[in-house]
Amino acid sequence: MEENPGQEPLLATYHHQYEYYTRKISDLLLSSVKWVLIILMWVVFVAWVVLIFLYPLNSVNYWVKDLCNHTLETFLGIEGAVFLIFSGPILVIAFLSIPYLIISRKQQLHHHAKKNSGKYGWSHRLSTFPVLVDGPFGVVSAAEVIGILSVIVFVIWAVFVYALRDLTIFDEAELTKETIM
């Protein structure tokens, strides 16, 4: 026996409207919290990378040493201070990713019935887009190439800064025949 579609009301009841708007507000809140967490994780990550890249400079090196000297008398000591300065941002990102993953799972459950449009941003393609196929490292994706290039740039930068620092120290020293021999 078929149901008669004429018996359904044309206007939704208040209960259905309330559920619809509650779901919309919940989706909006989840997506906004998710974006705030993403932005916070990116800010922490970029600050960490900038700290590592600028560490060879005298001013940043002095700042890190000064920060380590302030925590010298704590239970952490100098090793703990250096560990927290260079590994602390990664720990913060790890702790921020926990609510992000929980929110993503809740949002995924809400949108399970929707079909995927197939449009992905660059962030999804970088990890799967092959750049080198037959190389010494096998298949290398675009994200791996970016990582390799950033390490190479950092090594060149650090060697340049330390060499320039040593050359300025060498130039400032008074070299005469008596000091050399």
- pLDDT tens, residue by residue, 77-114: 888 888 888 999 999 999 999 999 988 887 666 555 45
Angle at 104 between CA 101 and CA 109, to 5 degrees: 130
- Better-predicted residue by pLDDT, 140 or 115: 140
Quickly state the pLDDT bin for 20 (edges 50, 70, 90): low
Q: What is the distance between the alpha carbons of residues 107 and 26, in angstroms, rounded to a whole number?
A: 9
Phi, psi of 128 (to 5 degrees): -115, -10
- Asked whether the whole model's pTM tops 0.75, one would answer no
Tell me the pLDDT tens digit for each residue of 27-79: 788 889 999 999 999 999 999 999 998 998 888 889 988 888 888 788 878 88
Residues 41/96, Cβ–Cβ less than 8 Å: yes
Residue 114 is encoded by which pair of tokens? 């929707």
